[in-house]
Amino acid sequence: MTTSTIAPEQVNRIVSNQHHDPFEVLGSHLVEQEGKNIWAVRAYLPNASAVYVVVPQERKEYAMERVHHPHFFECTIEVEELNNYQLRIQEGEHERVIYDPYAFRSPRLTNFDLHLFGEGNHHRIYEKLGAHLTEIDGIKGVYFAVWAPSARNVSLLGDFNHWDGRKHQMRKGHTGVWELFIPELGPGENYKYEIKNFDGHIYEKSDPYGFQQEPRPKTASIVTDLNAYPWGDEQWMETRRNRDPLGQPISVYEVHLGSWLHGNSAKPAKLPDGTEEPVVIASELNPGARFLTYRELAAKLIPYVKDMGYTHIELLPIAEHPFDGSWGYQVTGYYAPTSRFGTPGDFMYFVDQCHLNGIGVLVDWVPGHFPKDGHGLAFFDGTHLYEHADPRKGEHKEWGTLVFNYSRNEVRNFLVANALFWFDKYHIDGIRVDAVASMLYLDYCRKDGEWVANEYGGRENLEAADFLRQVNHNIFSYFPGVLSIAEESTSWPMVSWPTYTGGLGFNLKWNMGWMHDMLDYFSMDPWFRQFHQNNVTFSMWYNHSENFMLALSHDEVVHGKSNIIGKMPGDRWQKLANVRALFTYMFAHPGKKTMFMSMEFGQWSEWNVWADLEWGLLQHEPHEQLRVFFREINSVYRSEPALYSQDFAREGFEWIDCSDNRHSVVSFVRRAKDSDEFVVVVCNFTPQPHSHYRIGVPEKGFYTELFNSDAREYGGSNMGNLGGKWTDDWSLHNRPYSLDLCLPPLGVLILKLDRIKTAQSLG
């Protein structure tokens, strides 16, 4: 008969799941009994009918006996060392042999890890918290760690313990991180954390640092190895590291993967090993369709984007989210690419294939707010852990979401490391930070009395601004050559200025003012445009205050706003001509470019997250011609350094004439960096053609018509200048020479001095 070495109250704390450190009770302990040092082995095993300790080095078993509770077992063993023992457990007619999780006592997080996390500066905390495949004392398994400082207890739930929170109780460290190593677990295990607060309430939570989740509507995290994928993009990564992206052409195709194209639900995708990938139905509203996988999207989307000439794909948030209709902007799994389209390895394959085809990958990132879903971050440890407790700071009532508490070091660390994570593990080339204005202003979408001023009495969220500086400083420190883009809709100063100058540290900012001005301008009848020339020219007054990206995004084609073509006045021909004129002006205007999927072929209806894009329109000639137009304007843009190399330098742009509001015509010059190359752009924003329209130009010679948005192959009237024009020795617009041009209706011309032809003629 074994004499118990443990007090009943200690056993009761384990049985009732109220012990903050079960290692104090469970596992192996060196104790003194009858003047001898012996090993006491204890285990709490609900459902067990008999348990034996297997000591491999002795090739011997020791029967355990029940003490103080029917499912609490203990035995004593007289051996010098007790390493890697096993438990043979009988549960009715079933038997299993396991390594005891409580025999692996050494925590894997060092004090230095915890110190850095506590001060908000552990930039790779995702390699410590979460679920990690590891090996301890020669035994492979999974190490789990989660931050829940106010929890009374935390347990692991999973298929491996039949979702019974009594079986794998975790240990709490002094910083509020709970941890446990479970031997012999491997990739693919589903798990959650069972968190209890001091009132006894239980919360089942997905892992905030989980690398994979089950396809919705399920919410468990999945143990995943992120280091197994064989990347092939070394050359791309090295080139990116040594290149300034702001001097390169950037033409971004913004995509929502779930609605670009669907597959047939009856035809699941084949994985490389020949097995079938689980089918994820796209929507209950569309039961005959399924989501394409990341690998299928690589085979379909990448060739399309490459053929169209875009330099980057921007993905609406692909971090895990529960509701398709949120478009990904209400994230519950910040470290997990959504399982709608496959596994983390599948997403790595997608990014890798983009790079191998010369396409960069941008990802929308949402650090401003998160949803209230029970399995997510909200009220994570029974307290307001990730969000502010005060709803005047911690809730976006308009969106029904919660606001991160940027003043808490560990929360800030969670987000900073998350941004770095996507660059590190998935090789992405940039982030577009969503809703930056909602982060920067304490009174954003709040009425008087519904917000709290900062310490100086102002409306600025100083903690959020500091957080953004920290994010951007670290991104560019670790990953030179990438992009960090702010969707910031106000006049907050120095958004795209470096942090060492006091800026927020982004290297690009969406130009929301240009977007609103141009959509207002193009939506009006052309006759009225003469009274609104300022809409076209105003952007150049402030263009050099920031590094701007011109964006016509998904937000402009939903919620009753109509798609781009539907915003245009006139008959169908005029609508298409207006679209071509708008986008040609956009590509000629200083700034990088972003446009949303479906704009390139003139989809009439608004974007519908539940359906495919209207690809059937391409069987109609006008829509196919518009697609050809976009392919060609991308080609011209990428081939002419004058259109991109000095987007943010005053030397890169000069007006020729911006005052001809009577004809709604503007003309300007774009110049290349470190070169005498330049292009001349002339825009006619009315349906009235002009057969003899003269503009001044800086140099004498023959100007080739590089691009004409009114060309026949694009569906235009084919008015133009027969390939180009020679200058006349007439000074105009303060320039020594001029061109007599034919301006097509609702057309934009891009012309370039042909120096070879000019030299041959003059020489």
Q: Provide CB contacts within 8 A for 396, sequence distance 6+.
A: 369, 402, 403, 438, 444, 445
H or E stretch at 606: none
d(CA 68, CA 3): 11
List the catalytic residue out of 179, 324, 395, 487: 487
The structure tokens listed for 10 are 């200690």
Distance CA 443, CA 450 (A): 8
For 92-201, list the strands marked E by DSSP. Answer: 94-99, 130-136, 139-147, 153-158, 171-172, 177-183, 190-196
Rounded CA separation 16/6 (Å)? 16
Q: Comparing C-alpha atoms, which of 509, 363, 356 is closest to residue 422? A: 363
CA distance 491 to 488: 8
Rounded Cα gap, residues 118 and 658, in angstroms: 56
Spatial contact of 475 and 483, defined as CB atoms under 8 Å apart: no
- Characterize 699-712 residue by residue with b for buried, 16 or more Cβ atoms within 10 angstroms of its Cβ, and e for exposed: eebbbbbbbbbbbe
CA distance 761 to 763: 6
Of 593, 753, 742, 755, the residue nearest 682 (C-alpha): 742
CA–CA separation, 322 vs 67, rounded Å?
45
Q: At what angle do helices 409-426 and 111-119 cross, to 10 degrees?
A: 110
DSSP letter at 275 equals P
Contacts of 504 (CB under 8 A, 6+ apart): 465, 468, 469, 472, 486, 492, 494, 495, 496, 497
Note if the bond before 217 is cis, omega within 30 degrees: yes
Cβ neighbours of 571 (radius 10 Å): 10
Alpha-carbon gap, residue 46 to 53, rounded angstroms: 16
Closest CA to 55 of 38, 68, 31: 38
Neighbours of 517 (CB within 10 A): 18
Q: Are 190 and 156 in contact (CB under 8 A)?
A: no
Task: Name the catalytic one among 324, 434, 517, 640.
Answer: 434
Structure tokens at 744: 């097509």
Q: State whether the Cα torsion 390-488-351-328 is positive or negative.
A: positive
Query: Do the Cβ atoms of 713 and 707 come closer than 8 Å?
Result: no
Nearest partner of 312 among 255, 363, 253, 241, judged by Cα = 253
Angle made by CA atoms 492, 406, 336, in degrees to the nearest 5: 105
Question: 487 an active-site residue?
Answer: yes
Helix (H) or strand (E) holding 604: none
Ranges assigned E (strand) in 409-455: 430-433
Residue 81 three-state SS: coil
Is 78 noted as a catalytic residue in this protein?
no
CA gyration radius, the chain: 32
Distances (CA, A) of 195 to 214, 219, 303, 329, 476: 20, 15, 46, 26, 37
- Largest alpha-carbon pair distance within the chain? 114
Any idea which residues carry the catalytic annotation? 434, 487
